[in-house]
């Protein structure tokens, strides 16, 4: 195996990291970006006269370097396969000084299923301390089917994770994971660049660094671990089964699910 191929393979997720995504619904990356890239992206973003929405990549083309980085690319390939595609929808999220906390929400269609056809890849070009209004996520909620009007009644949740991250961090989350922006208590803006990536084909084999000798032993721990409120309830037993089905699906195995249980993302 050449050094180039070996390096690319090393950037793929491990079994433990893939299983962590299944159970928690997110994976954090701190890529070794070129010196000055984060600062340059912040400068170009500061210079924008208005939010360009889906045109953010055209207006700040250096963002492509972030998503092409081997560590980021390796994680995306692990989760979505080699033929993944960047979605046309992307957005610059600006959390302004003095903002109020955003309500919990899911960007997906709230379909409870075991498949991963789309992920969010949120890039933070500067450090995000707790008072700058970080995005918060609720681990495990990608398996929860909850209408937005009900989510809006929730405040702080036990087990929520604030993304207080270093400059350059990319947070990859399942499309259905609950998340929200929190109150910005500072006098400066907080940036987050949200890009979507889609899986284009059903998995037929593991696309990460799968170790057949230890994978199932590793899976037994991650598939039954507790997340969120840490209390035993029927919800967790249901989620454990969904995690098992997602693990089998990622490996390319046949998963028997009743017709109509989930949408066909390719239709």
pLDDT band at residue 150, thresholds of 50, 70 and 90? Answer: confident
Confidence of residue 148 (pLDDT cuts 50, 70, 90): confident
Q: What is the pLDDT of residue 224?
A: 83
Average pLDDT, rounded, for the chain: 88
Beta carbons of 129 and 95 less than 8 angstroms apart: no
Ranking 7-21, 76-90, 98-112, 249-263 by mean pLDDT, the lowest is 249-263
**Which alpha helices (DSSP H) does the chain contain, by range?**
3-10, 15-24, 37-46, 56-59, 63-68, 70-80, 148-151, 215-224, 234-250
CB 114, CB 22: distance < 8 Å: no
> What integer is the mean pLDDT of 173-197?
95
pTM of the model: 0.89
- DSSP label of 55: G
CATH level 2 (architecture), domain 3-198: Sandwich (2.60)
For 191, which DSSP code?
E
Q: Residue ranges of the domains in the chain? A: 3-198
Cβ neighbour number for residue 189 with a 10 Å cutoff = 17
| Long-range Cβ pairs for the range 44-52 (8 Å, 24+) | 45/92, 45/125, 45/191, 48/92, 51/91, 51/92, 51/94, 52/92
Alpha-carbon gap, residue 19 to 170, rounded angstroms:
18
Residue 42 region by backbone torsions, left for phi larger than 0, else alpha for psi between -120 and 50, else beta: alpha
Residues 6+ apart with CB under 8 A from 66: 31, 33, 37, 41, 72, 123, 168, 170, 193
């Amino acid at each position: 195996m050449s050094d180039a191929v070996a390096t690319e393979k090393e950037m793929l997720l491990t079994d433990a990291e893939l299983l962590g995504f299944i159970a928690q619904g997110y994976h954090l990356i701190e890529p070794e970006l070129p010196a000055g890239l984060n600062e340059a992206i912040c400068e170009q973003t500061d210079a924008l006269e208005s939010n360009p929405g889906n045109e953010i990549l055209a207006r700040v083309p250096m963002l492509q370097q972030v998503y092409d980085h081997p560590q980021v690319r390796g994680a995306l390939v692990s989760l979505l396969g080699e033929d993944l595609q960047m979605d046309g929808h992307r957005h610059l999220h600006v959390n302004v000084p003095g903002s109020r906390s955003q309500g919990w929400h899911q960007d997906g269609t709230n379909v409870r299923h075991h498949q991963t056809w789309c992920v969010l890849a949120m890039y933070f070009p500067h450090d995000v301390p707790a008072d700058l209004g970080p995005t918060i996520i609720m681990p495990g909620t990608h398996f929860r089917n909850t209408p937005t009007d009900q989510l809006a009644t929730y405040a702080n949740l036990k087990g929520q994770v604030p993304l207080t991250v270093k400059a350059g961090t990319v947070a990859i989350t399942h499309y259905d994971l609950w998340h929200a922006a929190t109150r910005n208590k500072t006098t400066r803006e907080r940036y987050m660049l949200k890009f979507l990536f889609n899986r284009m084909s059903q998995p037929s084999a593991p696309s990460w660094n799968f170790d057949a000798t230890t994978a199932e032993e590793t899976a037994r721990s991650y598939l039954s671990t507790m997340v969120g409120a840490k209390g035993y309830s029927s919800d967790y037993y249901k989620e454990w089964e969904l995690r098992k089905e997602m693990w089998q699906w990622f490996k390319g195995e046949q998963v028997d699910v009743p017709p109509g249980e989930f949408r066909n993302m390719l239709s």
